[in-house]
Structure 1
């Protein structure tokens, strides 16, 4: 068991109580990072205190099994700048970030990973760029400290592909160190594994986006949660983002177009076969072309139905109640006050 003991720097005398409306909320998804947590939280706090900013730190434990949740609960008992959200199980980074966004109270929200590879010292630079009129400032790990073949090279290819498809040209989509205006985050709903596409989602909402170089460190503790196996998921999510960007409010434009093409092709093929039968008296019963004509016609009808259903779903998406994609077991607020129970 990793017990946490408050140091003089983390005592309630050194850290003022969290303000009613903090200027900055720092959201950190945590999954099996028990050795990194104390260093990370203290570095974030020290950096923001030096910047004379009112802040809160929100650590979202995503079903850790290495003692991270217990350590965070101990820290929340003695730190008045820390809020801990414990999810019931491992949902993934996107739901964990969504949970942090929903609990954040700051005018600005900063996100970073919990493995100490992102450097909290860069937070003031992100906030300074944000104050220049941008809605989202993304970090660019210009000098990455990861394996070239398994991490850096696939990341560069993915960044280029995402930029080409979404129209948002960033060097580093995968960097979790980002700063957002709170009103921008409030307009974005996260599902699946869309956290790596937050700049593209923000662009859909009309956000002004920029990026700045940030530090990147080699992993000090634990093992990486990422690998080449996530490539397929990234591609599927990229197709989702492209659909959101192009057809979210008009799905009939894509399904309807495909339906028209299929109906026209099926009808033309059917007319051709009918002419062969009625005018030239040829036998068409055994022709594969007849099967193709029927399949195309039915596919066209189905695509039109999909388009209508998608239009209804789109309206439901925009008008339905806001139901989260996670379930919170408990929330420990500033000073160890329990402010929430399981849903």
Structure 2
């Protein structure tokens, strides 16, 4: 018997919490699997936390909450919810009521029937503004597909369904929630990743947290993603290419200057090329040595779990999920209050 955990990160969504909970409960009435709803409060400053407490109190068997100490960002909040999830299947969605919870059961069925590890939602008919949301999203999807090689129509759609055992092998940092399909491709076969068209509604309550300000963060995370996808097993190849290119260029320039000095007796001390050549050699050595060491240390640091991207203040509600996990289980590094 499978079980389902639905993770919803929330930040300043006080008017959406209770309607969202109601919609999820109505949608999950058709679920043949035990299920739990995990609401993650990402340091909201409005009355979102109060609404979450009401939701947990009204349905403690199915609704659980993870309250973060401050605003860590959507990626960290999503990771906190995934860590708290106990289902064999994990679904994620936004808390702005723009996703349709009734799509989840259908997506879970397809995930299990076709033996997939990830089924990503595709907002085929988006109800967002064109210039601030749809156009940047379309450009970002094409850029992500070009750089990472994972070709999906809608990387930014939060409505996704995962096989829990595979998703738990992935750790999310920065703004990496939009790159989860790419991270999944590093631990599973690409043919086990598919997409499906889902419903999309216009935002009614609250204010969108997305905009052009996230563009630079996405670009930087995309560069990091490119590095870890292409050179995760051999990072020395990435830094080595840059270091060798700089080093060979510097050595070639030094060789040419040495030929001018020894063969023709030309003065080279006052030439800017001498300083540039020495600088290129030094840069090459630094890229080959320092870059590899620091990147490997950083990756080892995160993989070992020594650093967490969020801190939990308390958790609310029971385990849910029809006994998918132990009721006494705690989140790593969390303090649980009853």
**Scaled by the length of structure 1, what TM-score is found?**
0.89
**2:323 is equivalent to residue 341 of structure 1:** no
Q: What residue number does 2:186 align with?
A: 204
CA distance in 1, matches of 2:209, 2:299: 36
Query: Given the superposition, is the C-alpha separation of residues 142 and 256 from structure 1 closer, same or farther in structure 2, using an over 3 Å criterion?
Result: same
Q: Displacement, 1:149? A: 1.0
How many corresponding residue pairs?
323
RMSD: 2.1
1:50 Cα deviation (Å)? 2.0
| Structure 1 position 150 matched with structure 2 position 144 | no
- Following superposition of structure 1 onto structure 2, how do residues 1-343 of structure 1 map, counting pairs within 5 Å? 23-79=3-59, 80-131=61-112, 132-207=114-189, 208-310=192-294, 312-313=296-297, 316-317=300-301, 320-321=304-305, 323-334=307-318, 341=335
Tell me the distance in 2 between the aligned counterparts of 1:103 and 1:51. 20
1:34 Cα deviation after fit: 0.9
TM-superposition CA deviations, 1:29-70 (whole Å, max 9, x none): 001111111111111112112223210000000001111112
Change beyond 3 A, Cα 1:314–1:230 = closer
Determine if contact 1:136/1:178 at 8 Å carries over to the other structure: yes
In 2, distance between residues paired with 1:123 and 1:105? 17
CA shift in 2, pair 1:180/1:168, >3 Å: same
Deviations 1:247-302 (A, max 9, x none): 11211101112212212111111121112112211111111110111111111111
- Confirm or deny: 8 A CA contact 1:78 1:335 kept in the other structure: no
**CA gap 1:115/1:321 in 2 versus in 1, 3 angstroms:** closer
1:322 to partner: Cα distance: 5.4
| Preserved contact between residue 77 and residue 335 of structure 1 (Cα < 8 Å) | no
- Long gaps (5+) in structure 2: 321-326
Give the conservation status (yes or no) of the 8 Å contact 2:147–2:226.
yes
Query: Structure 1: which 5+ runs fail to align?
Result: 1-20
The 2-side partners of 1:227 and 1:255 are apart by 33
Contact 1:59 1:100 in 2 (8 A): yes
CA deviation string 1:159-212 (max 9, x = no partner): 111111111111101100000000111100111110001001101112411000
Which stretch has the larger CA shift, 136-145 or 247-256?
A: 247-256
**Contact in 1 for aligned 2:103/2:198 (Cα 8 Å):** yes
Tell me the TM-score normalised to structure 2 length: 0.90
Aligned to 2:194, what secondary structure does the other structure show? strand
Matches of 2:266 and 2:307 in 1, distance apart? 60
| 1:342 Cα offset (Å) | 6.6
**Given the superposition, is the C-alpha separation of residues 319 and 133 from structure 1 closer, same or farther in structure 2, using an over 3 Å criterion?**
same
SS class of match (1:161): helix
**Contact 2:9 2:94 (8 Å CA) reproduced:** yes
More contact order relative to length (CA 8 Å, sep ≥ 6): 2
